[in-house]
Amino acid sequence: MQEYIYYSQTKLEFPLHESIYVTSKLEELTGKNFLISNSNEVSSELLADEIEFYEKNTEDSLQNKISNIKKLYEIAEQKLDCATDFPKSKEIGNRLLIISSSSEDTKAIMKSLDKDEFDTFHIEESILKSISGSIGSLKVIVEDENSESELNVDQIVWFDMKDEGSKQSGVFDPNQTSISDVINTLRENCQNYEYRNYISYDSTICQYHERRDEVCAKCVEVCPTVAITKIDDKKHLEFSDIDCLGCGGCVSVCPSGAIDYNPINKDAIFELSLNYKDTHPLIISENMNLKETNVSLKEGILPLKIEGGKFLDELSLLTFSQVSSSQVIFYNDELSKGTLEAIRILNEIYQKKYSKDAVLVATNESELQEAINKVTFVENSFFSFNQQTMRKREAFSYRVSHIVGDEDLGVVETGPNIHYGLIKVNEDKCTLCLSCVGACNVDALIADAKTFELRVNPSLCTACGYCVASCAEEDCLSIKQDVINLNPMFFKENVLAKDKLFACIECGKEFATTKAIEKVATVMKPFFASNPTKLKTLYCCEDCKAKLMIKEGLLDA
């Protein structure tokens, strides 16, 4: 099978690589299958219209143009190979509910439906109490004359839909499109409803999962649907693939990297970035209309089309910038809160080091042309390493530490969507019980068994505060929120507290930290003051404690 096809109504004036089937005649393509196409007029596994956009607008030399078009096909294929969003399907029945406040609206849509096409119900919006579930299994609660009833339907048409409806899959508003568009959608859904699993989730580093106190739920806050919900009594997140729109906004605000974007995950971003060495990456969100975008692409600009333009985070953007050693252009008019903050943070870091922004944002054609004219390489910024086995925080820390080097570049503030923190410990109060280490699931806090030290790597800290909530001592642990110190120590382990082991006064075996023994002794001394043996047991290991108590006949005392 020929995998790549370039179709254009006008004949190309230059040859393409032999791996690309070139034609200007659609009739030649009958019965042929392709993997990647530049045009939506050709049936293919993946539409890569950035190829045509590049071909029509680039100022690259003819030789580079031919070479880069082949590379763009290969990049598109690489995206397909790296994607882990598997298709799913669900059978959708024909129970249809119409919600409206106007009988004219109801009549209009009923008139457009074929007889017996749907089992149709109608309610006035005024009696609607709640909607839950997903397309194919929606539950609607209505309240009429102080009596509640439940309706189970497959799809809903809701005129002038309220916010509640927009969060559920399977609810459509004709006033946002048209009655004919909605009816076509209803019919298509009944024939074959397919969806994808856009999101993957690692509960082991989630800042919400099974915590006693809620320290993070950013993904739920930014989700525009009911695709991510909290189960507060269990502190579990639940994900609904069928309700997920695939926008990726949850990925960009996840502090630990527990949520990843399956169409282009963290590892795929790294692999794709390697294609952009010594070029100017132009990342284009799928919502931008490339067919009608006419700009002059100066030499060396290579596009990358992405789905879900809200998932890019600070690591993704920095990876492209460092591997290309160039500023990155991001063409997208729907930036998420997390991506906007990631860009601000990166640009501040780059300004402090290179006096240039790392990312140039364009939201329309004129801004895109301005960014294209402005984009430059960033001298001495190239850095690449295999980050595929590393978590998001670790990889980002390693990349920023390379920028910082041995310098002190000052401070960059973070938050409210991307959090870093500086953990401080009152060493006089810390008994090294290590509750904080057990509470930290991103390995920012470490117990060093050789040196009896409590250590912290600030660059890994998500500032979740769960270590503070878990600390056994009062006024011992605190966090200075939302700062990245651009100096070498921020990216290394620092000693927060240390102690030495206490040796049993009977046998000499080391069995606890000195501060822990001193604390217990301080608390218990008043109760044991009348008994010298009991006082002595405060400084003994478990074995010697028991021996003393038996010897003195105190076990039953």
Q: What 3 state SS string does 258-315 have?
A: CEEEHHHCHHHHHHHHHHHCCCEEEEEECCCCCCCCCCCECCCEEEEEECCCCCCCHH
| Whether 323 contacts 274, CB under 8 Å | yes
CA distance readout (Å), 298 to 20, 60, 288, 303: 24, 7, 20, 12
Residue 504 is given by DSSP the state P
* Helices and strands, number each (H, E), in the chain: 17, 30
- Phi, psi (deg, nearest 5) at residue 474: -85, 135
pTM: 0.88
- Residue 557: pLDDT band (50, 70, 90) is very low
Burial classification of residue 82, based on how many CB atoms lie within 10 Å of its CB (0-12 exposed, 13-18 middle, 19 or more buried): middle
Angle between helices 62-82 and 266-273 (to 10 degrees): 160
> Among residues of the chain, what percentage have pLDDT more than 90?
80
- Predicted local confidence at residue 145, as pLDDT: 80
Span 546-554, average pLDDT: 80
Would you state the structure tokens that stand for residue 156, as one six-digit string? Answer: 């809903």
Q: What spatial distance separates the first Cα and last Cα of the chain, rounded to whole Å?
A: 87
Would you state the structure tokens that stand for residue 215, as one six-digit string? Answer: 């320290």
Other beta carbons less than 10 A from residue 489's beta carbon: 12
| Whether 154 contacts 95, CB under 8 Å | yes
Other beta carbons less than 10 A from residue 466's beta carbon: 22
Residue 5 scores a pLDDT above 90: yes
- Predicted local confidence at residue 450, as pLDDT: 84
What value does the mean pLDDT of the chain take?
93
Provide the β-strand partners of residue 119. 95
Instruction: Measure the CA–CA gap between 406 and 215, rounded to whole angstroms.
Output: 34
The single-letter code of the amino acid at 526 is P
Residue 258 scores a pLDDT above 60: yes
Instruction: Measure the CA–CA gap between 390 and 76, rounded to whole angstroms.
Output: 25
Span 380-405, average pLDDT: 96
- Residue 277: pLDDT band (50, 70, 90) is very high
Instruction: Measure the CA–CA gap between 537 and 186, rounded to whole angstroms.
Output: 77
Span 322-343, average pLDDT: 96
The single-letter code of the amino acid at 164 is E
Q: Residue 99: in which H helix or E strand, if any?
A: strand 95-100
- Predicted local confidence at residue 281, as pLDDT: 98
- Predicted local confidence at residue 554, as pLDDT: 59
Burial classification of residue 116, based on how many CB atoms lie within 10 Å of its CB (0-12 exposed, 13-18 middle, 19 or more buried): exposed
Which residue is it, tokens 């500032």? Answer: 463
Instruction: Measure the CA–CA gap between 349 and 201, rounded to whole angstroms.
Output: 29
Which residue is it, tokens 């008019």? Answer: 333
181-226 per-position pLDDT tens digit: 999 999 999 998 999 999 999 999 999 999 988 999 999 999 999 9
- Residue 401: pLDDT band (50, 70, 90) is very high
Would you state the structure tokens that stand for residue 468, as one six-digit string? Answer: 């503070």
Instruction: Measure the CA–CA gap between 316 and 328, rounded to whole angstroms.
Output: 11
Instruction: Measure the CA–CA gap between 514 and 476, rounded to whole angstroms.
Output: 17
Instruction: Measure the CA–CA gap between 548 and 180, rounded to whole angstroms.
Output: 88
61-105 per-position pLDDT tens digit: 999 999 999 999 999 999 999 999 989 999 999 999 999 988 899
- Residue 1: pLDDT band (50, 70, 90) is low
Instruction: Measure the CA–CA gap between 457 and 491, rounded to whole angstroms.
Output: 6
- Predicted local confidence at residue 555, as pLDDT: 56
Would you state the structure tokens that stand for residue 221, as one six-digit string? Answer: 């806050």
Span 470-492, average pLDDT: 94
